Amino acid sequence: MDILFVRELKVDTRIGIYDWERQVKQTVLIDLDIAGDAGAAARTDKVENTINYQTICQRLVAHIAASEVELVETLAEQIADIVRGEFGATWVQVTVHKPAAVRGTRDVGVRIERGSRLP
Ligand SMILES: Nc1nc2c(c(=O)[nH]1)N=C([C@H](O)[C@@H](O)CO)CN2
């Protein structure tokens, strides 16, 4: 199994459980690991034969910038649904970072895996 990855996709969004967090936008960073077959794309050297990571990033930026969820868990689940449902990935790992959201930390967030690694 091969992995396509995205690291630190940066998006400003309304997210959080507190009143003040409903008034402002905060930055989240998204990491993705997506199961795929890099061999098929490599043999043809055509992006049509793989999952286009740029298209996924554009789709996720549009979704996340417009979303207004409270929890990082909800956002991670929505991202996994998009990557699997719209891009045909069989397995995805999604990490949502909310840096500096909690005093005394560098980063907090959630990591989820959805789907099967088997083709
Ligand atoms: N499990 C979670 N715990 C917390 C979340 C969250 O999204 N998932 N969010 C918050 C606040 O919004 C925090 O990020 C800002 O102070 C607290 N705990």
What does the buried/exposed string (b/e) look like for 66-98 if buried means 16 or more CB atoms within 10 Å of the residue's CB? ebebeebeebbbbbbebbbeebebbbbbbbbbb
The answer to whether 14 and 25 have CB atoms below 8 angstroms apart is yes
Q: What is the CATH number of the domain that holds 30?
A: 3.30.1130.10
The answer to whether 6 and 32 have CB atoms below 8 angstroms apart is yes
State pLDDT tens for residues 71-110: 999 999 999 999 999 999 999 999 999 998 999 999 999 9
> Which of 13, 14, 15, 17 to mutate to test ligand 1, by most ligand atoms within 8 A of the CB atom?
17
Active site residue 46: no
Q: Domain total for the chain?
A: 1
Letter for the amino acid at 17?
I
Which one of the listed residues 10, 25, 46, 98 is annotated catalytic? 98
Query: What's the gap in Å between 53 CA and the centre of ligand 1?
Result: 28
Give the C-alpha separation, 94 to 80, whole Å.
7
State pLDDT tens for residues 22-67: 999 999 999 999 999 899 999 999 999 999 999 999 999 999 999 9
Domain of residue 23 covers 2-115
**Closest residue to atom 7 of ligand 1, CA basis:** 71
> E strands of 14-108, at which residues?
26-36, 91-97
